[in-house]
Structure 1
Amino acid sequence: MSTARETTGDETPLRVAVIIGSVREGRAGTAIAEWFTGQVRRRDDYELDLVDLAEEPLPVVLPDSDTVPEPVTNLSRRLAAADAFVIVTPEYNHGYPASLKNAIDWFYDEWSAKPVAFVSYAGRSQGIRSVEQLRQVFVEVHAMTTRDGVSIDLERVDEHGWPTEAGIDGAAKLALDELAWWGRALREARAVHPYTA
């Protein structure tokens, strides 16, 4: 009897969009995202698209008309192409950045039936409260948030802004393993039964 693992479905790499949610000058999110995307690049089961909201000038006013601003159309293509998402978010005043909420609200189908993982950062709270709020928001756009993420204490980073806490690379691996499982499962499900909300 063969002990080889049988594979079914699409085994091509998952396209993951890693989204930097803060747009503040001097933000820690750039360094945190740099560290995390390094973790992604070590793997062969992901294709990476780094989305920096500071470089995506999304309007803050949603129009009543059907006219879609060009920056929204451009980002829509990137999000629609993704099989999974990782949100890199700080915690501001016990919540997440307005720039991130604006980006979520501009889109709907692009998020639907896809998994979302979180990399959060702050002081001692490690951004956990922002993640708990984001879970409630993403369920409303029919995304599936994963259980395991990465939480970073900004008092435990090196001179590059990368986290140094023991076990942090293992936490990233666990989060990416879980995201990969859900990413494949939901990609296959969408292919067989297109999702409509």
Structure 2
Amino acid sequence: MGCRSGGTSPIYKMKYAFLLFCLLGLASCQFRRFRPRFNNFGGQQNNFRGGQQNNFRGGQQADDNFGGKSYHFSWRHDGGQKYTGGGAHSYCSRLGGGWKAVGISSPDEGRYINGIIGNNRQEYIWTGGVKSGRGWRWLTGESFNVNDWSHTGGAQRPQPDNREGDENCLAILNNFYRDGIKWHDVSCHHLKPVICESN
């Protein structure tokens, strides 16, 4: 078993070509899976696992019901994927049937949502709250008449504080600043799971 002078063996070339082909195929799959997609909230949106869409039908997507509404918890369906603010809103709307990121319209609903976050050990979630002028509104169209803003945040100031200069999305954080489960204005490019609701 010697090596011919002046070149490499055909078997070596075939192994090299096969290895190169496999690496290129793997790189191509990874690029398609993780390439950023931009949305109208100025951040990047993660693709769903393996590029799959969430194709729920009928009542399959409801994880719980409370106060005449149905709720869907993204982390129970997408392997723990996290989304930008805009990606979270898109995730909910793709469920079909009028699903939107949660809007909190009563203190009872606020306590219920906080209980879900605490019991499911979620660090934070996106809501359907977005900055509108100098105030805030729910994308569900419900009245923004509940207030559960935190007394502190990253700059130790009461929320909302627009600390990063573009904090236009409302997230609920679970004791992130040793403040309990509270509302925070957050830049929409951050990644979080979402709770969706449907009437």
**Smaller-chain TM-score bracket:** under 0.3
**What is the TM-score of this pair, normalised by structure 1?**
0.26
Of Structure 1 and Structure 2, which has the larger fraction of its residues in helix?
Answer: 1
Q: Which of the pair has more CA radius of gyration?
A: 2
TM-score, normalised to structure 2, is 0.26
